Amino acid sequence: HKRCQSVCALRDRAASPQKKALNYQQVTYLLPACNGEITTMSFLQDIVDILLQYVVKSFDRTTKVIDFHYPNELLQEYNWELADQPQTLEEILLNCRTTLKYAIKTGHPRYFNQLSTGLDMVGLAADWLTSAANTNMFTYEIAPVFVLLEYVTLRKMREMVGWPGGCGDGIFSPGGAISNMYAMLIARFKMFPEVKEKGMAAIPRLVAFTSEHSHFSVKKGAAALGIGTDSVILIRCDERGKMIPSDLERRILEAKQKGFVPFLVSATAGTTVYGAFDPLIAIADICKKYKIWMHVDGAWGGGLLMSRKHKWKLNGVERANSVTWNPHKMMGVPLQCSALLVREEGLMQSCNQMHASYLFQQDKHYDLSYDTGDKALQCGRHVDVFKLWLMWRAKGTTGFEAQIDKCLELAEYLYNKIKNREGYEMVFDGKPQHTNVCFWYIPPSLRSMEDNEERMSRLMKVAPVIKARMMEYGTTMVSYQPLGDKVNFFRMVISNPAATHQDIDFLIDEIERLGQDL
């Protein structure tokens, strides 16, 4: 009863903001201003009220997922420009309300647009604490607890990958794309350590291999590291989007015959669109045979290692040399939280260290192995570990397992509901391996049409129109895309533990409501 009263009070406040007890002036009245404590406490309390109102609304199914406006409308409706003179704190609070008014409620139970969804309360609290601590991750002396938590958490993640005793190394990086680039960087250094000083001109032409359904970051990393996108060879996939091992071996042999040096295979555990898991054991056998670094991009699928029911889908991951795992996706940790795990200890340090004497003094009075900053590409590095660590403490592994299993069960529920439903066609046969459910909605006007080029041309326009209508009504959001020879289709993903069967039912009804006249 008390909890309901609190929620109602927050909603009332959201509907009609209270007058401030203080007459707010400018930011100069906040700490560290002399006698600024009362004004600071009042200001921050008002900020917390705004945030709490937003949090409560995010889980309220009667509210919109999005209050959509076109960019030119938003630019014209508000003054976003930066001025020479300061605003009052009242105006700053208004800026905060306006920003959240037009923000996408990514924690809303009917937001299905991206791989990262949901709003975890412990994770949110941890993010607030991280910002208040406002430190950098490069040395133990300025981030003692956070550095230790990164050590403990990365070791636990390596244990779950299957490396004995959690041996190895790792780092939290600004997203899976950077984690994948780290893997490419370290794999190159492992094969040709002289590249660090002498550059690409000193080594042979390198080639990397990844599936045609893999994330674009593999090519982007090759471009950034001077390897070149032409040196990333795309391996064919089967109809479910899994890399075909025989094609991988064929392309490796072709590259070697041309005088190129294969240095990395990036397998994918949970592809972005189909949610496919490459056959890691077969790929590991090939990598071992040809002495090639095996990386597993588990940014999306790595979370399944938390589930006893589903972790078999990553069988063979323990044979990888490196693994990308994004807890900010399937585990629901607030953005951003991505880990690169490396099996060989010390390799990352050797690859990246520059011995900056103003940070990494060798005569400090504590164990210098905890000064981890020199193994990172960044100098300034955000504290990304605390929210994951605190959520793990709050939920335990079993709590993460339960929410992941629930999301996969919801995906299977959606698949079973639409696989034989009139007006739906599945993009590939069989139940999904991850929470990705890929399908076309076929409006009544197209259902009796012959399957020809004209039908494909018209079907291509269906998903974009329905998506635009979803956003304009603000009721839900789900992604769409073409892939290969397949025209635009919906890619439903579920990673928000707040979603229910009723939300899946709502999505289906909404697609039909918005698309029946097309």
Query: What are the extents of the domains in the chain?
Result: 136-382
Q: Is the peptide bond before 464 cis (omega within 30 degrees of 0)?
A: no
> What's phi and psi for 4, nearest 5 deg?
-60, -40
Of the candidates 170, 146, 143, 175, the residue with the CA atom closest to the CA atom of residue 385: 146
Amino acid identity for residue 153 in this structure: T
Rg (CA), the chain: 25
Q: What is the pLDDT of residue 14?
A: 46
* Dihedral class, residue 44 (left if φ above 0, else alpha if ψ from -120 to 50, else beta): alpha
Classify residue 18 by burial, with Cβ atoms within 10 Å: 0-12, 13-18, 19+: exposed
- Residue 402 token pair: 């339960």
Residue corresponding to tokens 């601590």: 133
* Contact between residue 84 and residue 495 where contact means Cβ atoms under 8 Å apart: no
Distance CA 63, CA 114 (A): 19
Locate 177 and state its tokens.
């794309």
Q: Which residues contact 358 (CB under 8 A, 6 or more apart)?
A: none
Alpha-carbon distance 311 to 298, whole Å? 12
Which residue has 């039912």 as its token pair? 505
Q: How many CA atoms lie within 13 Å of 238's alpha carbon, on the beta-carbon side?
A: 11
Strand order in the sheet with 477-483: 111-112, 477-483, 486-492, 437-441, 424-426
Please tell me the distance from the alpha carbon of residue 160 to that of residue 323, in angstroms, as a whole number: 11
CA distance 339 to 61: 33
Q: Alpha carbon of 387 to those of 36, 170, 339: distances in Å?
A: 30, 17, 13
CA distances from 235 to 124, 170, 245, 269, 318 (A): 40, 28, 8, 15, 22
Which residues of 41-110 form beta strands (DSSP E)?
none
Specify burial of residue 17 (Cβ count, 10 A radius: 0-12, 13-18, 19+). middle
CA-CA distance, 518 to 444, in Å (whole number)? Answer: 8
Task: Report the alpha-carbon distance of residue 388 to residue 393 in Å, rounded.
Answer: 9
* CA pair distance 101, 411, nearest whole angstrom: 30
- In whole angstroms, give the CA distance from residue 514 to residue 316: 44
**CA–CA separation, 177 vs 189, rounded Å?**
19
What's the pLDDT at 416? 98
Burial 119-142 (b: 16+ CB within 10 A, else e): bbebbbbbbeebeeeeebbbbbee
N residues, the chain: 518
CATH tag for 136-382 (out of 3.30.300.30, 3.40.640.10, 3.40.50.2000, 3.40.50.1820): 3.40.640.10
- Give whole-number Cα distances, 375 to 28, 186, 194, in Å: 40, 11, 17
The Cα 53–Cα 50 span in angstroms is 5
pLDDT value at position 78?
94
Q: Identify which of 502, 477, 431, 509 has the alpha carbon closest to the alpha carbon of residue 64.
A: 477
* Rounded (10°) CA dihedral 283, 284, 290, 292: 100
> How many Å apart are CA 293 and CA 279, to the nearest integer?
16
Cβ-based neighbours of 474, under 8 Å, separated by 6 or more: 64, 65, 66, 67, 68
Give the chain's end-to-end CA distance (angstroms, integer).
Answer: 47
Give the residues of the chain that fall short of pLDDT 50.
14-21
d(CA 111, CA 246): 39
Q: How far apart are CA 20 and CA 415, in angstroms?
A: 51
Contact predicate 249/260, CB 8 Å: no
